Structure 1
Amino acid sequence: MRADNRAERQAEIEKAAYELLQTKGYRGTSMLSIAKLAKASNETLYRWYGDKNGLFKTMVESNARTTKEALATAIMDGTDPIAALRHVAPILLSMLLGQEAIALNRAAAADESGELGRAIAAGGRDSVFPLIETLMLRGVESRSLAAPSASAAADWFLSLLIGDLQIRRVNRTLPLLSDADVVARASTAVGAFRKLCAG
């Protein structure tokens, strides 16, 4: 199968998985039900993803891909940490508050096994946080950021950016933010972080 055809089929499979996740929850969503809704073979799903956990981990990774690419580019280019955060913050916030991430987190909250939560952590925070930390390390080492460690600086930034917004989205007390609201929140968070860590 050509790469573009496979990517298209994977997008259809992931769309079906999100639909079932929202109606049946993680436990009630099976590889077979996803295959049927996506009009794919069960064998294809197992061959491509290994198992249900592998499929959902891939979905989390797909959702975080743009954020990780933006961070990796900033690290590789040697971009100033604050300038990089101005670019990355709205991308990261949009991803974390978007429908896909919220659907995954709602299902994880109801999954008593913790399996989906572990998949979300592995494909999301555990792969994004080290990139933010690496970006912060440059600022800490050059003393352009005053923080006890790169890890602390990354924690501070994420707290300022996200706060309780994702929890409020998950428990349905906050609607989807507009693009303008995301940009404004990101700008405020980066400004506050710059003042907090002024070297």
Structure 2
Amino acid sequence: MREETKAERQAEIEKAAYKLLNERGYGGASMLSIAKQARASNETLYRWYGDKTGLFKAMVESNARATKVALEQAIRDEAEPLTSLENVAPTLLSMLLGERAISLNRAAAADESGELGAAIAGAGRDTVFPLIEALIQRGLEGRALAAPSTRIAAEWFLALLISDLQVRRVNRTLPAPSDKDVDARVAAAIGAFRKLCAA
């Protein structure tokens, strides 16, 4: 199978998985039901993803890909850390408050096994957070930023950017943000972070 065709089929499988996740929760979205919804063979899903946890981990990775790529590019380019954080923040915030992340987090909150939560943490935060730390570390080393530690500064950045917005989206007390909302939130968060961590 050509890579392009495989990528298209994987996108269809992910779409089917999100649909069933929203309808049945993580426990009710079996590999067989996802395969049927996507009009794929159960064998294909197991061959490509290994198991259900592997499929949902791949979905989290896919959802976080644009943020991860932007951060990795900023690190490779040795771009100015604060500017890089400001540039990637809209992508990160839109991803975290988007329908896919919210669907995954709603299902994880109801999943007593903890499998989905672990997949989200491993393929999401545990992948993106070290990249944010790497940018901030460069800022601390170059004395563009000042903070007690790289980890604390990264946590401050995320707290200022996200706060309780994702929780409020998950519990349905906050609507999906517009681009204007995202831009305003990013501007406020970056402004506060600059003041907090000014060298």
TM-score normalised to structure 1 length: 0.99
Task: Tell me the SS of whatever aligns to 1:124.
Answer: helix
Corresponding residue number in structure 2 for 1:151: 151
Corresponding residue number in structure 2 for 1:11: 11
Report the Cα offset of residue 59 of structure 1.
Answer: 0.1
Q: Which amino acid aligns with 1:138?
A: R
Corresponding residue number in structure 2 for 1:138: 138
Root mean square deviation of aligned Cα:
0.4
1:86 & 1:135 partners in 2: Cα distance?
Answer: 11
Corresponding residue number in structure 1 for 2:83: 83
Q: Which runs of 5+ in 2 are unaligned?
A: none
1:39 & 1:105 partners in 2: Cα distance?
Answer: 26
Q: Which amino acid aligns with 1:95?
A: M
Corresponding residue number in structure 1 for 2:115: 115
| Residues 16-165 of structure 1 mapped to structure 2, 5 A cutoff | 16-165=16-165
1:85 & 1:180 partners in 2: Cα distance?
Answer: 18
Q: Which amino acid aligns with 1:38?
A: A
1:141 & 1:58 partners in 2: Cα distance?
Answer: 34
Identity of aligned residues (%): 71
1:90 & 1:184 partners in 2: Cα distance?
Answer: 10
Q: Which amino acid aligns with 1:42?
A: N
2:20 & 2:152 partners in 1: Cα distance?
Answer: 38
Report the Cα offset of residue 85 of structure 1.
Answer: 1.1
Task: Tell me the SS of whatever aligns to 1:175.
Answer: coil
Q: Which runs of 4+ in 1 moved over 2 A?
A: none
Q: Which runs of 5+ in 1 are unaligned?
A: none
Report the Cα offset of residue 171 of structure 1.
Answer: 0.2
Q: Which amino acid aligns with 1:3?
A: E
Corresponding residue number in structure 1 for 2:193: 193
Report the Cα offset of residue 149 of structure 1.
Answer: 1.2
2:152 & 2:78 partners in 1: Cα distance?
Answer: 20
1:81 & 1:196 partners in 2: Cα distance?
Answer: 15
2:175 & 2:198 partners in 1: Cα distance?
Answer: 33
1:150 & 1:75 partners in 2: Cα distance?
Answer: 15
2:81 & 2:54 partners in 1: Cα distance?
Answer: 33
Corresponding residue number in structure 2 for 1:182: 182
TM-score normalised to structure 2 length: 0.99
2:132 & 2:82 partners in 1: Cα distance?
Answer: 11
